[in-house]
Amino acid sequence: MSKRILVTGGAGFLGSHLCDRLIEDGHDVLCVDNFFTGSKDNIRHLLGNPRFELMRHDVTFPLYVEVDEIFNLACPASPIHYQHDPVQTTKTSVHGAINMLGLAKRLNAKIFQASTSEVYGDPEVHPQPEEYWGRVNPIGIRSCYDEGKRCAETLFFDYHRQHGLKIKVARIFNTYGPRMHPNDGRVVSNFIVQALRGQDITIYGDGSQTRSFCYVDDLIRGFLALMNTDASVTGPINLGNPNEFTIRQLAEMVIELIGSKSKVIYMPLPGDDPKQRQPNIEKARTVLDWVPSIQLEQGLIKTIEYFQKIVK
Ligand code: NAD
Ligand code: UDP
Ligand code: UDP
């Protein structure tokens, strides 16, 4: 059945891929974005589509629209961007969640929250299951994002318990792919752009820290699988690819795939940078019947093709 679906942060990296999928599936999409990190370029191909509507709006302000379902993705996701105006980052997560939950409550609409593996902080449990409460510094430079997202989860579960809202909370682990912002400082886009330009590849720290990288198409499939579960499934559910790599391995792979002459340089590790991260996706596997299918090399090739077109 065709629905009218609100996607906040819909002009961003993940949001624009989600809009694409929802339109393909025959839904009407209302994309709400303040264009802080998102771009019209990400959704330009949808602008003429009668089933797509774009609205410039900041989710920290109330929003009165009529929709059947809500995906709440609005929030800068890369450390450079979320640390640019940390107070606004917390407001976006917290006031944004309150407004979108208020909207969902008035409409009795199902609502999805794009939470994050950052709720686990610098974890001492590895890989991270949903039951792990995390190890987050409440006053560090990453806290505006981590604590904002943690508080948003609290709000989602309190609206669920207190008002009976239908909620779906996904904890997203590092995801990459076409339409990542070339200057947002995340590791995959940084390394690819540097390698394409023949610039030095900047490894922070000694490069022994790990991340597990999920390709965007797999992740969006996970979003829809979670959204379409029955009301008893609230999450939180980890979504990510458990294949774990050191940052040094990632650098080597990018250099080799591009055939780049770039050399690796080592720079200071930013504060509170998690040492290791890998999702335990047992819950997604059993509850959603979801596993990622695109492995790092294959996903990097697709992502490199995208950046080759846009990077000068
Ligand atoms: P992104 O920066 O590309 O997208 C975020 C979008 O939200 C942008 O279009 C931005 O303009 C918009 N936005 C920011 N503040 C807003 C506000 N106050 N009002 C309206 N719009 C606003 O990042 P992304 O990678 O697409 O991330 C999307 C969501 O997924 C975020 O909530 C992020 O925290 C979450 N997430 C992403 C990853 C990842 O690896 N990509 C991992 C964990 C969680
Ligand atoms: N809200 C909104 N759109 C709506 C309904 C509510 O943006 O359609 C916002 C409104 O600003 C409110 C917030 O959501 O402050 C929380 O709403 P809720 O009904 O939970 O709380 P209350 O209105 O009682 O503060
Ligand atoms: N990183 C790096 N060089 C870069 C950008 C990031 O070595 O140019 C490191 C960063 O310190 C972190 C990892 O790569 O250890 C992932 O960083 P990203 O910002 O992509 O995601 P997050 O730290 O939020 O998981």
User: What is the reported pLDDT for 216?
Assistant: 98
Neighbours of 236 (CB within 10 A): 20
Say whether pLDDT at 184 is over 90.
Answer: no
Share of residues in the chain with pLDDT > 70 (%):
100
Q: What's the 94 CA to ligand 2 centre distance in angstroms?
A: 13
Mean pLDDT of 3-10: 98
Say whether pLDDT at 17 is over 90.
Answer: yes
User: What is the reported pLDDT for 59?
Assistant: 98
CA–CA distance, 155 with 102 (Å, rounded to integer): 11
pLDDT digits (tens, 9 = 90+) for 273-312: 999 999 999 999 999 999 999 999 999 999 999 999 999 7
User: What is the reported pLDDT for 79?
Assistant: 93
- Rounded-to-10 torsion of CA 222, 226, 228, 233: 160
Share of residues in the chain with pLDDT > 90 (%):
97
List Cβ neighbours of 275 (8 Å cut-off, separation of 6 or more). Answer: 122, 209, 210
CA–CA distance, 11 with 7 (Å, rounded to integer): 9
What are the residue ranges spanned by the domains of the chain?
4-176+215-240+276-292
- How would CATH label the architecture of 4-176+215-240+276-292? 3-Layer(aba) Sandwich (3.40)
Say whether pLDDT at 161 is over 90.
Answer: yes
pLDDT digits (tens, 9 = 90+) for 185-206: 999 999 999 999 999 999 999 9
CA–CA distance, 189 with 103 (Å, rounded to integer): 34
The residue nearest atom 12 of ligand 3, judged by CA position, is: 273
List Cβ neighbours of 1 (8 Å cut-off, separation of 6 or more). Answer: none
The residue nearest atom 6 of ligand 3, judged by CA position, is: 187
Say whether pLDDT at 54 is over 90.
Answer: yes
Choice between 312 and 37, residue whose per-residue pLDDT is larger: 37
Say whether pLDDT at 271 is over 90.
Answer: no
User: What is the reported pLDDT for 258?
Assistant: 98
Q: What's the 252 CA to ligand 3 centre distance in angstroms?
A: 15
Mean pLDDT of 114-119: 97
User: What is the reported pLDDT for 272?
Assistant: 87
| pLDDT bucket at 45, cuts 50 / 70 / 90 | very high
The residue nearest atom 11 of ligand 3, judged by CA position, is: 204
Instruction: Respond yes or no: is residue 145 known to be catalytic.
Output: yes
| pLDDT bucket at 270, cuts 50 / 70 / 90 | very high
- Exactly one of 64, 82, 120, 145 is catalytic; name it: 145
Mean pLDDT of 202-224: 98
Mean pLDDT of 138-160: 98
The residue nearest atom 8 of ligand 2, judged by CA position, is: 103
- Is 90's C-beta closer than 6 angstroms to any atom of ligand 1? no
- The whole-chain average pLDDT of the chain stands at 97
- Is 238's C-beta closer than 6 angstroms to any atom of ligand 1? no
Is the preceding omega at residue 127 within 30 degrees of 0, hence cis? Answer: yes
Mean pLDDT of 207-223: 97
Say whether pLDDT at 27 is over 90.
Answer: yes
